[in-house]
Amino acid sequence: MEPKEILNISVDCVVFGYDINTKLLNVLLIKRFLESKDTNEILVDDYVLTGFHVYENETLDESASRVLKELTGLTNIYQKQFKAFGRPDRLLNEKDLIWIKDRKFSSRTITIAYYFLLKTDSVDIKNNKYQAKWFPVEELPELGFDHKEIILEAHEDLKTKCLSEPIIFELLPDKFTINDVQDLYISILGIEIDNRNFRRKLINKKYIIPLDEKQVGVSKKPAQLYMFSKDVYEKMFEKNYLISI
How do residues 189-243 score in pLDDT, each as one tens digit?
A: 999 998 889 999 999 999 999 999 998 877 788 899 999 999 998 887 655 555 4
pLDDT per residue as tens digits for the range 82-115: 999 999 999 999 999 999 887 767 888 999 999 9
Q: Which of 115, 111, 33 is nearest to 68 (CA)?
A: 115
Q: Which residues contact 110 (CB under 8 A, 6 or more apart)?
A: 8, 9, 10, 84, 85, 86
Q: Which of 28, 50, 52 is nearest to 122 (CA)?
A: 28
pLDDT per residue as tens digits for the range 12-27: 999 999 999 999 999 9
